[in-house]
Structure 1
């Protein structure tokens, strides 16, 4: 049976004066899915995240959050949490005091009892009693996530959650989000980083100039690009270049002076090249795209949308 929907948006329009921020946007996110929202600056991502958090209401279209129709601002149901444009914190308070203030505003004693747990989940236990004015960007992002976790969300909305995170912090945040999704929480995250999207998201929506350029599984998105540039490192660069030159349908690019062969062509042709290299007793030590399939598809789709 299909998972219940955490978000169902149909024909969402939003304008600010003469500026069209969202134009007929459709978005479907089932429970338990981590859904990526990506696009160039000004594409409408922040506007859409604000609608999902109930910070504004669309000019037209329909929006259901956790099965509840939302027709006015601040009317999203319980179970929605997150932040847009970075978390709002009290700089003169410690991390623990910030979370305690949030729990007090909600009047939720169970939330207050969870403070130490969420601080531990995001890796801030050691700085729990430090004032947040001295926090780095990554620490503030993690504290914002901790604040969202206090609400035990069924829908979590995050804007650039890995901003400022070192590799250890990123791994910790990834783990939190993956555990939430495994427990049935839907996560919608906006990110400019394709590695975040590839590591976390099963589906992605790409916005360009307020329109949906693509929405669906990552595998389908990568399939939109038929040819990529690949770097090939072999045991004999000169011989590999000759084999590549004799392979029909393959184009040889720059970068040869470093001993790295750069080629582009359809996947079946690349498969044929690898086969020929092996037959020529040339070891293939590396074969990797210069740009990930996801990033290449993103660039192609957003350029097409922008040119319309």
Structure 2
């Protein structure tokens, strides 16, 4: 049986005057799924996130969140938490005081132990007594995530949660989101960082000019995409080049790299698989094979550029 849906949106429209921000958007997000939301600036991502958080109301269409139809009124749906355009914090308060104040605004009586646990989850225990005014962008993002975790949400909506994070902080946040999804929490994650989305998301939705141009698993996106460039490093570069030139569907990019040990080829996935099999049968070890540009980024560019054309 299919997993229950945390979000079911059909034909969602939203206009601001003459500007159509969302134009018939459909969206399905299963329980326990991390779903990526991608699109160029002005594509409608922020508007859609605002609808999910109850910060705006759709002009048309049907939206169900956690199995409940969303009413035509501004109100955060029960079981939903997150932030858009960065978390709202009190700069003069400490990290711990911010969480206590935000919990009080939501009418929640949160124990000190719960606040400490949220700070520990996002790696801010050591600065719990420091004022938020002195926090870096990445620390503020993590404090916003801690505030969202206080309510133990079943749906977490996040806008650029890895913004400003160093590699260690990003790994920490990735671990938090992965554990939440494993425990059944659904996450909608908007980001311009394709590497974050590919590392975390099982499915993505790509928006362009307020419309959905793709939605589905990342594997399907790669399969449907045009040919990609791949870096290929082997134990015998010259022999690998000869085999590649003799393999149907493989195109060698002569100007693709200055490294004589690396071969850059352009191919669809089936042709690339065929080349790898031929290399192995010839006794040539494949030491590295990776897309020059990630499948998600390549598809994002292709689909959004196509949608933007008249």
Measure the CA separation in 1 of the matches of 2:188 and 2:268: 33
C-alpha deviation, 1:132, in angstroms: 0.6
Measure the CA separation in 2 of the matches of 1:116 and 1:94: 13
Give the match for residue 89 of structure 1. Answer: 89
Measure the CA separation in 2 of the matches of 1:182 and 1:279: 40
Give the match for residue 302 of structure 2. Answer: 300
Give the match for residue 20 of structure 1. Answer: 20
Map 1:1-308 → 2, pairs under 5 A: 1-110=1-110, 112-253=112-253, 254-259=255-260, 260-278=262-280, 280-308=282-310
Contact in 2 for aligned 1:92/1:132 (Cα 8 Å): yes
**Are the structure 2 counterparts of residues 128 and 243 from structure 1 closer, same or farther at C-alpha, using a change threshold of 3 Å?**
same
Secondary structure of residue in 1 paired with 2:224: coil
Measure the CA separation in 2 of the matches of 1:280 and 1:182: 42
Contact in 1 for aligned 2:208/2:304 (Cα 8 Å): yes
Contact in 1 for aligned 2:13/2:61 (Cα 8 Å): yes
Secondary structure of residue in 2 paired with 1:101: helix
The gaps in structure 1 that reach 5 residues or longer are none
Q: CA RMSD in A?
A: 1.8
C-alpha deviation, 1:104, in angstroms: 2.4
Contact in 2 for aligned 1:209/1:306 (Cα 8 Å): yes
Measure the CA separation in 1 of the matches of 2:90 and 2:39: 30
Deviations 1:117-153 (A, max 9, x none): 1000000000000011110111000000000011111
Measure the CA separation in 1 of the matches of 2:88 and 2:175: 23
**Are the structure 2 counterparts of residues 268 and 66 from structure 1 closer, same or farther at C-alpha, using a change threshold of 3 Å?**
closer
Deviations 1:151-170 (A, max 9, x none): 11111110011111112111
Between 160-169 and 72-81, report the one with greater CA deviation: 72-81
Measure the CA separation in 1 of the matches of 2:8 and 2:53: 13
Secondary structure of residue in 1 paired with 2:206: strand
The gaps in structure 2 that reach 5 residues or longer are none
Corresponding residue pairs, total: 308
Between 168-177 and 65-74, report the one with greater CA deviation: 65-74
**Are the structure 2 counterparts of residues 271 and 27 from structure 1 closer, same or farther at C-alpha, using a change threshold of 3 Å?**
closer
**Are the structure 2 counterparts of residues 31 and 250 from structure 1 closer, same or farther at C-alpha, using a change threshold of 3 Å?**
closer
Contact in 1 for aligned 2:228/2:291 (Cα 8 Å): yes
What TM-score, normalized to structure 2? 0.93
**Are the structure 2 counterparts of residues 178 and 249 from structure 1 closer, same or farther at C-alpha, using a change threshold of 3 Å?**
closer
Secondary structure of residue in 2 paired with 1:110: coil
What TM-score, normalized to structure 1? 0.93
Secondary structure of residue in 2 paired with 1:114: helix
Contact in 2 for aligned 1:55/1:73 (Cα 8 Å): no
Secondary structure of residue in 1 paired with 2:55: coil
Measure the CA separation in 2 of the matches of 1:49 and 1:304: 24
Secondary structure of residue in 2 paired with 1:14: strand
Measure the CA separation in 1 of the matches of 2:272 and 2:4: 41
